[in-house]
Amino acid sequence: MPSLQILMIASEAVPFAKTGGLGDVAGALPAALARLGCGVTLAVPRYRGVAGGTPLTRFPLTVGGRTLEVGFVEHPLADGARAVLVDCPELFDRPELYGVGNADYPDNAFRFAAFTRAALEFAARHDLHVDIVHAHDWQAGLAPVYVRTLYANHPELARAALVFTIHNLAYQGLFPPHWLPALDLGWDLFGIEGLEFWGKVSFLKAGVNFSDRLTTVSARYAKEIQTPEYGCGFDGILRRRADRLVGILNGIDTAVWDPATDPHLPEPYDADRLDRKRSSKRALLEAVELPSDDQALARPLVGMVSRLVEQKGFDLLEKLGERLLALDASFVLLGSGEPRFQDQWQALAARAPSRVAVRIGFDEPLAHLIEAGADLFLMPSRFEPCGLNQMYSLRYGTVPVVRATGGLDDTIVNWSPRTGRGTGFKFADTTPEALLAALRKALEVYRDPSAWRSIQLQGMACDYSWDASARHYEKVYENAIRARTKRP
Ligand code: ADP
């Protein structure tokens, strides 16, 4: 098969913008596909503060009768892969990506519809010979609809196969129906087989219903989202399309997340020099102003880097409250999110300032230092489509304690003292007690240095690089092309 040309559309991508796992994936997948011989153009909005790049073109774009002046700026990503940043300051030159605090920008429907249109129009005008339009999450969910409506007669785009990836089903891009005409979408699309979801327009549903193939980010999550418990109201819709849905585990960027080369660590380490991990622990304790004497260094340190929301299990931790302080462990938390969880953790830190440190905010260097300096990494998620931090933790010899859901269940092997096999500790029930029991068990094993070292080394030997995942995506693209040829 000749090399595939892929237009990827994502609302965030490292190194340009990131609020979560989507940014990591969209930043790494294009280069991994390019290594397999694919040609990839990744469209991302040009948010505030993103500089540089080569200007390619500008043209006016009319969406719902409103004309925007849009520029396109190229950044090479790898041999065969490039990012094209969509420059439209009135939509994207704002303090945050999606909204300020917990309030979304009121024009998000327009912002991301216009971004998607701009990406497609760029491809349409520049003869990219696109074989695949691969859209990610609700922000790009209208891409397959626009390809099938506005570009239905375009000689190139109309024959592209359409792939949509769900990174998190909980974010559904729901807007009042009056947006339809403002986004050039006909009322005929406002039906149960189209974009309508309980009286609203859902961009996510657009992606699900109009694509040739659907993917999500772990095999376990692909199954879970077809159940009422995890389906967020979409389980029936997904069950009907189960034959075209597959789970592909995200990889991690092994160049960025490598304790042997990580510039954020005081001293590099790897499986052969694991003792040097201790310098990262000391540096982390110092960085967050916890004691770093011998006694503190000997005490197990639990790290967390997370959005502070219920999805990540922060309500379970909230219920444990001060029971966490009864454990012989210290805690470092980096994250931001719901004020109630921020307050709770700040109160815990005030109560036990020598054992709990909290940093509210987004801090990439500190995230690296936590991965390296902590002994355990806690992810008690209620649901977790894939999760990246547990894979970073494995690589950094930091033992994950996770709830057995989604990608956490697929990537962590529960430690068994009987077989001596395992890379972490898992619990099944969504209860504070189950979480506490798993933490207790992990802390008990921590006191057995040879067992602990064995768990660390088994984790460090895992390979979650992008290459295997990219090969899976390539298969999905080939299947999507076959499905496209059968579509009317
Ligand atoms: P999600 O996308 O649901 O937030 P993932 O585990 O898939 O969760 O990805 C989260 C990514 O964002 C990881 O790379 C993690 O290190 C990073 N991250 C989350 N919160 C912060 C923070 N406060 N500071 C730095 N990095 C963060």
pLDDT attached to residue 349: 98
DSSP 316: H
Task: Delimit the domains of the chain by residue range.
Answer: 5-251+467-484, 271-463
What digits encode the pLDDT tens for the residues 111-120? Answer: 999 999 999 9
- 50: helix, strand or coil: coil
Give the residue, by CA position, lying nearest to ligand 1 atom 17.
20
Q: What is the pTM of this model?
A: 0.92
What digits encode the pLDDT tens for the residues 177-189? Answer: 999 999 999 999 9
The torsion of the CA quartet 322, 365, 105, 44, rounded to 10 degrees, works out to: -140
- Determine if ligand 1 sits within 6 Å of the CB of residue 375: no
- Determine if ligand 1 sits within 6 Å of the CB of residue 362: yes
pLDDT attached to residue 43: 98
- Determine if ligand 1 sits within 6 Å of the CB of residue 389: yes
Res. 488: pLDDT tops 80? no
What digits encode the pLDDT tens for the residues 295-311? Answer: 999 999 999 999 999 99
Span 136-160, average pLDDT = 97
One of 3.30.2130.10, 3.40.50.2000, 3.30.1180.20, 1.10.3720.10 is the CATH number of 271-463, namely 3.40.50.2000
- Determine if ligand 1 sits within 6 Å of the CB of residue 98: no
Ligand 1, closest atom to CA 334? Answer: 23
Contact 225, 165 (CB under 8 A): no
Res. 1: pLDDT tops 80? no
CA distances from 293 to 278, 330, 358 (A): 12, 13, 19
pLDDT attached to residue 418: 96
- Determine if ligand 1 sits within 6 Å of the CB of residue 393: no
- Determine if ligand 1 sits within 6 Å of the CB of residue 305: yes
Cα 389 to middle of ligand 1, angstroms = 7
Cα–Cα distance measured from residue 386 to residue 389, given in angstroms and rounded to the nearest whole number: 9
pLDDT attached to residue 25: 93
Span 189-214, average pLDDT = 97
Mean per-residue pLDDT of the chain: 96
pLDDT attached to residue 101: 82
What digits encode the pLDDT tens for the residues 383-416? Answer: 999 999 999 999 999 999 999 999 999 999 999 9
Reference 245, options 483, 37, 464; nearest CA is: 483
pLDDT attached to residue 35: 96
Cα–Cα distance measured from residue 79 to residue 253, given in angstroms and rounded to the nearest whole number: 17
The torsion of the CA quartet 337, 338, 340, 342, rounded to 10 degrees, works out to: 10
pLDDT attached to residue 2: 57
Cα 136 to middle of ligand 1, angstroms = 17
In the chain, the percentage of residues whose pLDDT exceeds 70 is 100
Span 133-161, average pLDDT = 97
- Determine if ligand 1 sits within 6 Å of the CB of residue 21: yes
Query: What architecture (CATH level 2) is domain 5-251+467-484?
Result: 3-Layer(aba) Sandwich (3.40)
Token pair listed for 5: 């040309």
- Determine if ligand 1 sits within 6 Å of the CB of residue 374: no
